[in-house]
Amino acid sequence: MQSVALKVGDLAKQTGVSVRTLHYYDEIGLLSPSHRTEAGYRLYDEKDIIRLQQIVSLRQIGFSLEQIRECLDQREFSPHRVVQMHLSQLHEQITLQQQLYAHLEAISNQLQSTEAISIQEFIQLIEVTTMVGKYYTPEQQEYLKARGELLGEERIRQVEQEWQELIEQVRTEMEHGTAPTSESVQILAKRWRSLIAEFTGSDSGIEQSLNQMYQQEGVEVASQGSVDSALMQYMNRASAALKDSSGRGSKSYD
């Protein structure tokens, strides 16, 4: 392998990863340059660049920085495995793009032949084009569709209303400075988890896709403005406390 020693600015310019991000990775110990010049400038060598590629790939897949740290700290977690994981995700994205192409091509043909196109067809096209198509596999979309049919329109409307009420209750507790570990917030956290489970059917793959959408799109976009980042962080702390207490066999708020 060719010997490499890049300063942080050169590495940022060649990879597209900002200097600020590289500095942050260094600060948290996720990617610290192996060398420094006598003047104190960071120098990244081959191993550092390989590690950066792994970080970038895992971030695009949807891993958090903490999850990436845990993965890269495992000796058996090789660069080859990261590339294979990235390939797998890209394959899913290509499949979704092919579906979108087929939808667009069909509508294009209909428009050209002046055939009437139903509003439902346009709605389906929008659905494929937006976030659901980006983060859920075709199998997961079919599963969610079946879940919706099983729940029924009336229950879906009820759940939407329950979500709005729950979000407002959580916001009120947060604004009042209530600790996420308090009993009142833990009850809300349990209800939050219950509604997510009702949506996903407790399917771990769908929950992972949901989390990935929130991580990559941002809380405000993914929730369509219903939740902001501060509220989500507050709820994440409450959920973590709920998980910890459940693991110790603490009081359950059924």
Q: What is the pLDDT of residue 111?
A: 67
Domain 6-72 grouped into CATH 1.10.1660.10: yes
Q: How far is CA 166 from CA 127, 131, 185, 196, 243, in A?
A: 26, 24, 11, 12, 19
Q: What is the pLDDT of residue 253?
A: 32
- Interatomic CA distance for residues 176 and 196, integer angstroms: 25
pTM of the model: 0.45
Q: What is the mean pLDDT of each run of 10 residues along the chain (254 residues)?
A: 76 87 90 86 88 85 81 78 76 69 72 63 56 64 72 79 91 93 93 85 76 73 75 89 57 34
Q: How far is CA 248 from CA 27, 131, 192, 238, in A?
A: 34, 37, 20, 15
Q: What is the pLDDT of residue 190?
A: 92
Q: What is the pLDDT of residue 114?
A: 58
Indicate the domain borders of the chain.
6-72, 78-129, 151-247
For residue range 48-91, what is the model confidence (pLDDT) as tens digits? 888 888 888 888 777 778 888 888 888 777 777 777 777 777 77
